[in-house]
Structure 1
Amino acid sequence: MMSTPLPDPLRVAVVEDQPLFRSMLERMLDESTGLVVVASVGTVTEAARALQPGVADVALLDIDLPDGNGIALGVSLRRRQPDLGILLLSAHDAMDLLLDLPLDVAAGWGYLSKNSSTSEETLLTAVRAAAAGETVLDPALLDRVTPRAGSDVARLTARQYEVLRLLASGLSNAGIGQRLGITEKSVQNHVNAVYSTLGIDVDPARNPRVSAALRLLEGTGPAT
């Protein structure tokens, strides 16, 4: 499936109530090639006022804000701007919140934990993937889950499950191939097998990578 070219520069809004963490995010994003911070605020009220449709391409939203929560804010922003990418940040390690999103806004959301995702590369990958309409999950948290017995995810081979986790972490097929030391064609074959096992239709109107990431969330639980 062809991906839509991202705007250059990619406009990012930050909604985070902790001033120090917010300034760190601003600096990291502004110093990254192809990204620019266009708004930086600390509350739902300020965000609703600042993030008018068309201002940003992707919004980083802290889930816990002093006057509300980032999930409800993200739903509101997405319904005003359907192509806005949303990346949630939280200290509570609750990726499964993405499973409760309303269906009309469920694509193009990502989730990173403040406790585990300290890598600049991880953050930037997630920002760009969210802007492209993909669902990105925290790679460190994915390392802590295993397939649930009886789930479709449990039917995947070890290599297919590995490919699915990397896909859900926001890596492209080329990036997955580099990580695993296999060809991009081999990665695509594994991805197709994952879609088949999980019953995901490759529909041009829907992003199968989003569906695969959400099925991964549904079919896994904490490692024992």
Structure 2
Amino acid sequence: MTQTDHRLIRVGIVEDQPLFRSMLELTLAGVPGLRVVAAVGTVTAANQAFKPGAVDVALLDIDLPDGNGIALGVTLRRAQPGLGILLLSAHDAMDLLLDLPPDVASGWSYLSKTSSTSTDELVRAVRATADGHTTLDPALLDRMEPRAGSSVARLTDRQYRVLRLLARGLSNAGIGEELGIAEKSVQNHINTIYAALGIDADPARNPRVTAALRLLEETGPAS
């Protein structure tokens, strides 16, 4: 079991559309192990409500009436380095994760409001983000393909599928269940992927986050 199986995850929501904000709040409030501690509609309100230590994961709409969720996330993370950030957008802006300042670049996730607002995907993303992982929108990933000549393009079909499932925030057990293979086989695939992508075991960096961002960096819309 992961760390998030043993503790309450406190979630803060910043979404300017009242109906969608209420939907997110009601959805997450009904999930065991999650608690919505604040749901607001502006950057100003978030800065007042999300004091360091108040939330574990911040769900942030990118487009807000008095600013944007990315700048807000950077501010919140610098005040609380362990805070997970889950961005939501009605547009395909997933590649914005590649432009984050290096000091706050880990532990950010991205879901599209239009393609991946199912309860399962949302809850998985919240829990993975609380553990410091990066979760990418599965429907958007399905539309991507490796760029020619990239390290990701040299992965086998099975390795590429494992990498995409990892980038969706699935655990090794979850990946194994999805593919019908043993958890040990999943770890072997992941180790091979890390080697192929040149991802080392630097304790200061989460290799799963690095792998997810590499997938984002080295893929583009399918032709």
- Provide the TM-score with structure 2 as the length reference: 0.98
Q: Does 1:29 align with 2:11?
A: no
Structure 1: which 4+ aligned runs deviate by more than 6 Å? none
Counterpart CA distance in 1 for 2:5 and 2:47 is 24
SS in 1 for 2:109: strand
| Superposition RMSD in Å | 1.2
For 1:121, the aligned partner's letter is: D
Which residue number corresponds to residue 160 of structure 1? 159
Which residue number corresponds to residue 108 of structure 2? 109
CA shift, 1:87, in A, is 0.1
Q: Is the 8 A contact 2:57 2:85 kept in 1?
A: yes
Q: Does 1:76 align with 2:75?
A: yes
Q: How does 1:175-186 map to 2 (within 5 A)?
A: 175-186=174-185
Question: Structure 2: which 5+ residue stretches go unaligned?
Answer: none
Q: How does 1:117-128 map to 2 (within 5 A)?
A: 117-128=116-127
CA shift, 1:7, in A, is 6.2
Which residue number corresponds to residue 222 of structure 1? 221
Question: Matched residues, percent identical?
Answer: 74
CA shift, 1:119, in A, is 1.2
Q: How does 1:39-188 map to 2 (within 5 A)?
A: 39-188=38-187
Q: 1:136-170 CA deviation, whole Å, 9 max, x = no partner? A: 10011100000000111001000000000000000
Question: Structure 1: which 5+ residue stretches go unaligned?
Answer: none
SS in 1 for 2:74: helix
Q: 1:95-145 CA deviation, whole Å, 9 max, x = no partner? A: 100000001001110000001002100000000111110011001110000
Q: Is the 8 A contact 2:4 2:130 kept in 1?
A: no
Stretch of structure 1 that moved more, 92-101 or 197-206: 197-206
Q: Is the 8 A contact 1:164 1:216 kept in 2?
A: yes
Counterpart CA distance in 2 for 1:11 and 1:215 is 29
CA shift, 1:205, in A, is 2.5
CA shift, 1:5, in A, is 5.0
For 1:154, the aligned partner's letter is: A
Counterpart CA distance in 2 for 1:155 and 1:39 is 44
CA shift, 1:184, in A, is 0.4
Counterpart CA distance in 2 for 1:187 and 1:8 is 26
Is the alpha carbon distance of 1:173 and 1:97 closer, same or farther for their aligned partners in structure 2, counting shifts above 3 Å? same
For 2:154, the aligned partner's letter is: R
Q: How does 1:10-25 map to 2 (within 5 A)?
A: 10-25=9-24
